[in-house]
Structure 1
Amino acid sequence: MHTTQYRPLAPRQAEALTHRAQGLSNRETAQAMRCSVTNVTNLLAECFYKLHARNSTDAVAKAVKHGLIQFILILTVIGGISADQEQLRTRFQRRLNSQTLRIRNRENLA
């Protein structure tokens, strides 16, 4: 059985990916990390490469699965969104929810 080995993420790469997991855009991530949007784009691209990920959702899932970013932090932020702030949820969070539903549907069909 072949298991894929992932290269560890640099601290700034893990930070950028964690911000993405929290639903921040590249611009919001750049503001939080006090760097340029181009720098964030490059950090995330390197994360995608190291994790063999197709997109942000895939990168976050792989990073969490392999302990490269902390899942509890992501849950705390997503869980802290109140009903009044529901409209502020980003495309990433909605996509993550729809993928979770698809996975559950597949499990129920099996």
Structure 2
Amino acid sequence: MHIATNFRKLAPRQAEALTHRARGLSNKETAEAMQCSVANVTNLLAECFYKLHARNSTEAVAKAVKHGFIQFALIASVLSGIGTDAQEQLRTRIQRRPTIRTIRIHNNREGIV
């Protein structure tokens, strides 16, 4: 299987949304920062994933930084500009997000739940 290595350049708003994601903001927080709807942010990030051939935000951010679509220095300067309390809150907020997996059982003949 051949994986495409040619990435399409991100539009300015897409790069902005991905930069906010790199800072750890949720879609709602990104929408507030960009003064748009949450649906718009979702669409912008989906386009980023598509253009960068990424499966998730982490992979999209890594590829965007690697290929110069977003500036790592900008992200680092934003993170270094916040105080230690805010850094700790950001760290614990990210750690608190649980991973939820849904398992469906088909053809449950015995009635076991």
Q: Using structure 2 for the length normalisation, give the TM-score.
A: 0.73
Mapped partners of 2:74, 2:39: distance in 1: 25
Deviation at 1:87, TM superposition (A): 3.4
The aligned residue for residue 39 of structure 2 is 38
SS of the residue corresponding to residue 5 of structure 2 reads: coil
Does residue 1:12 correspond to 2:13, yes or no? yes
Q: Using structure 1 for the length normalisation, give the TM-score.
A: 0.75
Structure 1, unaligned stretches of length 5 or more?
93-110
The aligned residue for residue 26 of structure 1 is 27
Q: Find runs of 4+ consecutive structure 1 residues off by over 6 angstroms.
A: none
Mapped partners of 1:34, 1:85: distance in 2: 22
The aligned residue for residue 75 of structure 1 is 76
Aligned pair count?
Answer: 91
| Structure with max Cα Rg | 2
The aligned residue for residue 96 of structure 1 is none
Deviation at 1:85, TM superposition (A): 2.1
Structure 2, unaligned stretches of length 5 or more?
96-113
Q: Which has the higher helix share?
A: 1
- Give the superposed CA RMSD: 1.8
Instruction: Using CA pairs under 8 Å that are at least 6 residues apart, name the structure with larger relative contact order, 1 or 2.
Output: 1
